[in-house]
Amino acid sequence: MKELGASGTANFGAAIFMIVISVVSVAIRLALRRWARIPLSWSDWLILFGLAMIIVDTGLILEYIVAGPGPGTYDLNEIIANYANGGAEWAPVMLKELYIGDLFFGFAITSVKLSILAFYREIFSISKTFQQWNWTVSSLCIVWLLVTTFCNAFQCNPPSALWEYLGSTEYCIPSGPLWLGYELTNFFLDVLVLGLPVVMVHRLRLRTAQKWSVASIFLLGGLVCVASIVRMVYIWNPHAPDTVQINQVQVLSSIQLGIAVLCACLPTYGPLLSLSRKAIKRIKRAVGFSVSESSGHSGVIGGHNAKDLTDRSEYYRMGEVESDIHAHAASASTNGFVEAHAMGDIPSRSIMVSRSVQVT
């Protein structure tokens, strides 16, 4: 691989970071879906489509930096400064890559937004008002994609003027105002997507601490808004409003996409909590049995085998006499083997039913 300049190294690292974060996040999401036997839904297919768009966008950046012409840089100003020493060949190739990459970026970031909104519809399906707002925001995201794709595709007249005349304002809309409008509207949509679940969580009958705990999972998406704000700072230069600092903007674009995919997948990691609880319980039981064996216990408590009590720690047979259950709980807590509960204090997710009951 050729030696990379500072701008090439920064964009190479950001692109690798983005693709690793995105692939790992989606892989964990799909693995948990399979483990929990949850069929793939629209939200999963949309995040997979977004991941495909990200891979293409990333591949274009990496291909230019590593195998493209030039000294391994990703700074258009640096390339133009060396126009007579090869920059005349390097600049058109880089601008073609940017032209195509911007189109894929729009599809990628919109797919992630639509995936998040589809997930919201799955978990808040009971509220018709929420569903209407959700579909409204989804429609705005699609309209945004169509408008920005058109503007990017036909920024110059003809489109080839972008790389043939290096984006001259004689043929092209200045990049500064265009990209600023692009990012401002993107930021506005991010805020709308973030705000939707917070309203629903506020209405849940939970303690305040629990509401904040649930809302914080959704509000982690605010990191995408932070990346968007920083990106706008580098897009808009009041001293040169018609130009864009492409090197820094592309680094932030890569980070923004990676964070967006991670935040879209985090709310689906609920089964990880269940796995963690089970692992902790197994460790506690193993430690409890180890201590009991070293103390000379026979492994039988109150006429019941220790394994039977272990099995009772989280589930109880239907129809079991309540006095027996209290006896098991008292015996188990006395000897320190298992964590059992009376019928009136069974933790959530501890009773499973085979059919639903409608109460009218």
Tens-place pLDDT, residues 52-97: 999 999 999 999 898 888 788 888 888 888 877 887 888 899 999 9
Distance CA 237, CA 249 (A): 12
Spell out the residues 6+ positions from residue 261 whose beta carbon is closer than 8 angstroms to its own: 21, 22, 25, 26, 47, 50, 51, 54, 112
φ, ψ (nearest 5 deg) of residue 280? -65, -40
pLDDT < 70: residue spans in the chain: 1, 202-219, 273-279, 281-282, 284, 286-360
* pLDDT of 73: 83
- Residue 94's CB: how many other CB atoms inside 10 A? 22
Contact (CB, 8 A) for 50 and 25: no
Of the candidates 115, 92, 96, the residue with the CA atom closest to the CA atom of residue 26: 115
Biggest distance spanned by C-alpha atoms of the chain: 92
Distance CA 264, CA 114 (A): 10
Spell out the residues 6+ positions from residue 156 whose beta carbon is closer than 8 angstroms to its own: 162, 165, 167, 171, 172, 173
- Alpha carbon distance, N-terminus to C-terminus of the chain: 70
